[in-house]
Homo-oligomer: A and B are copies of this chain.
Amino acid sequence: MPTQTQRKTVSRPPAAQMRPSRRPPRAIRVQQAAPDVDLGGLTDHLGYLIRRAQLWIFQDFIRRLAVLDIRPAQYSVLAVIKANPGLSQMALAHALGIERARVVHLIDALEARRFVRRQSSNRDRRSHALHLTSEGQRALLRIRELAAQHERHLAEKVGVANHKMLLRLFAVFARS
């Protein structure tokens, strides 16, 4: 509904760009549903659509990062450790909203690949301070290149203006 307080902004994308393309996404691995299956009102639920979108996005990420054998959660862990050297597993789990046990498992795998090392913390001998190794730092550089390619592909898919708008809109969930 238009209101008297509606402001005109120059940064808003044209209405035509707000609408997603009608054609189905490219490079989808999930088999297409038979077109005569009625989704029974599920498409009125944002949660359903966001879950499908998330699966599509993660599949694209996994495919593009397959040459480096890196999945989304591993990338998240490496990026946050890089930005916070010495972080504890607990703090990492909180920051990413991942269960503690899963973080331990993720770190185990990244340690086995010599990307991450655990150091006994000075403050608390039971906890570990996480650091990237120099090999981990180098790997992260390559990972970031492919992650950026993935992001550009996603921006093309939803529209560059929509992509920016969505990043702004969903920022509220970043630490939810």
Hey, which bits of chain A sit against chain B, CB under 8 A?
1-3, 5-7, 9-12, 14-16, 18-22, 24-25, 28, 30-34, 37-58, 61, 72, 76, 79-84, 87, 91-92, 94-97, 144, 147, 150-151, 154-155, 158, 162-163, 165-176
- With CB as the reference atom, state the residue of chain B lying closest to A14: B6
CA distance in complex: A104, B1 (Å): 44
CA distance in complex: A171, B154 (Å): 15
Residues of B with C-beta under 8 A to A72: 47-48, 51
- With CB as the reference atom, state the residue of chain B lying closest to A76: B42
- With CB as the reference atom, state the residue of chain B lying closest to A19: B168
- With CB as the reference atom, state the residue of chain B lying closest to A45: B151
CA distance in complex: A155, B45 (Å): 10
Residue of A3, A40, A83 with most partner-chain B CB within 10 A: A40
For the complex formed, measure the closest distance between the CB of A20 and the CB atoms of chain B, giving whole angstroms: 4
- With CB as the reference atom, state the residue of chain B lying closest to A81: B40
